[in-house]
Amino acid sequence: MSPKLQDELKAIKEPVFQPGKLAVGLVFSTFLLLVFWSWSFLELSLSEVGLGFSRTGSFLARLWPGEYSNSETLLSLGFETFVMATVGTTLGLILGLGFAFLAANNTGFSKWISAVARFVIVFFRSIPDLVLAVVLVALVGIGPAAGALALGLGSIGMVGRVSTHALEDSKINPVLALRSLGAGRSQVLVSGFIPQITPALIALFLYRLDINFRAASLMGLVGAGGIGILLKINLGTLNYQAAFAVIVFIFVTVGLLELLSINLRRLLLGNRSAAGRRFFEVWFVRLVLVAFGLILAFGTLSYGANLLTAFSRFEVFVQIATQFVSPDFFTRFDLIAEGLLETIAISSVGTFLGMFVGIPIGFLAAKNMALGKVPYFLARGFLVIKRGFPTLIIALIFVSAIGLGPMAGILAMTIGTGGALAKFIADSLEEAPMKPVQAIASNGASRFQQIAAGILPQVSPSLIGHIAYSLDMNIRYAAVLGIVGAGGIGTVVLASMKSLDYQTTSASILVLLALLVVVDRTSSFIRRKLK
């Protein structure tokens, strides 16, 4: 039987009704209905959105060129931010790896221990770092120690999940050999598993350090140390040019740290052996590792002393902790419900508007779709610039430009989603086979027809998956937008913390956690069905 006939028979036998695709279609339709509801709930209008962008453009013009006379404070707080990120990432790697050992199904722990460990990993993966920082500032006091601890606990989710998968994918023969020689569980873990997952751990540490530095730059917004406090003070006192200097410093530092991370990964995990590396490459790695060690030691000693001082107020700590573990869902039910609905509405509209930014830029940023060198470099430039600015800083700029409220959050989400979605789409387009496009083009099809008939059918499943993932991430971002005055349940969290109403804070966080778990499961279902 010819291959062509086999394909035709397969197409005939393929069932018309496909539950997976129907479910995805229903979810996407639900998303569109959610957008319409959100638009009505927030009482939005297109003119209001346009006016918000216009006012922000005028505001940005007032920031230029920035005021850099306070460079010593910038460098000092920048160093503090990096120390926080280093200590937090190391702590997160240790804790995450520990829970991964307990959670993995091939490390010999009982099923109930693995279940508890997996729950802890999911729990910390679901809570935004800044929410953890708000709680820890209340528990251990203002300062970078709370920020480092928040980054460490916030890293457990990613580190634990990736490490669990790496452990479960490890080769079993070295482990069995050690067990046959009578090695204990700790010896098996150290000698059997760790050597196999070390490359993954190095890559994970560097990647998480990059993420945590971006997060650490925002910790000062809630009193948890770092350069964010300077940004908050300058914006609060209308010293906009000094605030712009802080934003530029964060952008440049994030870029430099990313370059450092890329080069370290290349040198530590590249194909060349240590003997094949050049002299300066070896010394570069050694100097960086020594610098990391010194920074880690400094941060550990400094923050450890601060934490011991904080925990010396044991009675206050127990009193606050007791309120956190006894959430009150009823006294402020209306306030929590409104904050939760506002969070859903902001993230839904922000994701929807972000599609209109991300999809065209994604097409322009793909090498095989580019309409010319200038549009391509402009699109790529937008992606690079967006990557250097955390969404919360963008939200803070919009709040300063147009005032408090959900509109600032929506506009920040639009830019943030546009950048992330454009990157995903560009990558998907560059991986798409071009033969169908070439066949259509050979028949005289226009550029639009080539994209509509040759590209969109190939990338539509991944596009829907990217949108679902963007909504998932945006709800996490929307949860903390209220901390900078951009609406959502973060407003309830921050207000209840300031009024020492920790039971309402705890209830708000638990409600948010439940929402994030539902969204995460829905997003995972959609991506699984689209594979």
Round the average pLDDT of the chain to a whole number and report it.
Answer: 78
Q: Is the pLDDT of residue 308 over 80?
A: no
Please give the model's pTM, rounded to 2 decimal places.
0.79
Q: Which residue has the tokens 């928040």?
A: 150
Of 399, 397, 391, 396, the closest CA to residue 418 belongs to 391
Q: Is the pLDDT of residue 295 over 80?
A: yes
Mean pLDDT for 200-205 is: 82
Mean pLDDT for 452-462 is: 70
Peptide bond into 174 cis (omega under 30): no
Mean pLDDT for 93-97 is: 89
Q: Is the pLDDT of residue 212 over 60?
A: yes
The strand ranges marked E within 49-118 are: none
pLDDT value at position 469? 76
CA distances from 54 to 48, 200, 407, 487 (A): 10, 45, 13, 20
Task: Tell how many helices (H) and how many strands (E) occur in the chain.
Answer: 23, 0
- 12-16, 414-418, 497-501 — which is least confidently predicted? 12-16
358-400 tens-digit pLDDT: 888 888 887 777 677 788 888 888 887 777 777 788 888 888 8
pLDDT value at position 447? 67
pLDDT value at position 16? 45
Q: For residues 281 and 267, is the Cβ–Cβ distance under 8 A? A: yes
pLDDT value at position 17? 42
- 119-128, 302-311, 343-352, 386-395 — which is least confidently predicted? 302-311
Mean pLDDT for 336-348 is: 87
- Residue 66 is encoded by which pair of tokens? 């920035």
Q: For residues 55 and 402, is the Cβ–Cβ distance under 8 A? A: yes
Q: Is the pLDDT of residue 11 over 70?
A: no
333 band by pLDDT with thresholds 50, 70 and 90: confident
pLDDT value at position 5? 43
pLDDT value at position 529? 63
Q: Is the pLDDT of residue 337 over 50?
A: yes
Round to whole Å and give the CA distance between 386 and 394: 9
192-196, 285-289, 314-318: which is most confident: 285-289
pLDDT value at position 517? 76
The string of DSSP letters for 167-221 reads: HHTS-SHHHHHHHHTT--HHHHIIIIIHHHHHHHHHHHHHHHHHHHHHHHTTGGG
- 18-22, 32-36, 208-212, 411-415 — which is least confidently predicted? 18-22
CB hemisphere CA count around 350 (13 angstroms) = 35
124-179 tens-digit pLDDT: 887 788 888 888 887 777 888 888 888 998 888 888 888 888 887 777 777 677 66
Mean pLDDT for 22-45 is: 80
Q: Is the pLDDT of residue 15 over 70?
A: no
The string of DSSP letters for 372-434 reads: -HHHHHHHHHHHHHHHTS-HHHHHHHHHHHH-SSHHHHHHHHHHHHHHHHHHHHHHHHHHS-S
Q: Is the pLDDT of residue 238 over 50?
A: yes
pLDDT value at position 14? 45
Q: For residues 383 and 405, is the Cβ–Cβ distance under 8 A? A: no
Higher per-residue confidence, 291 vs 192: 291
Of the chain, the percentage scoring pLDDT greater than 90 comes to 1
23 band by pLDDT with thresholds 50, 70 and 90: low
15-19, 50-54, 520-524: which is most confident: 50-54
User: Residues near 343 by Cβ (< 8 Å), separated by ≥ 6?
Assistant: 475, 478, 479, 481, 487, 488, 489, 490, 512, 515
Of the chain, the percentage scoring pLDDT greater than 70 comes to 82
Higher per-residue confidence, 124 vs 13: 124
Mean pLDDT for 57-61 is: 80
CB hemisphere CA count around 386 (13 angstroms) = 22
User: Residues near 472 by Cβ (< 8 Å), separated by ≥ 6?
Assistant: 519, 520, 522, 523
13 band by pLDDT with thresholds 50, 70 and 90: very low
User: Residues near 144 by Cβ (< 8 Å), separated by ≥ 6?
Assistant: 80, 83, 84, 219, 224, 225, 226, 302, 303, 306
Q: For residues 466 and 425, is the Cβ–Cβ distance under 8 A? A: yes
CB hemisphere CA count around 408 (13 angstroms) = 24
Round to whole Å and give the CA distance between 473 and 403: 24
Round to whole Å and give the CA distance between 414 and 398: 11
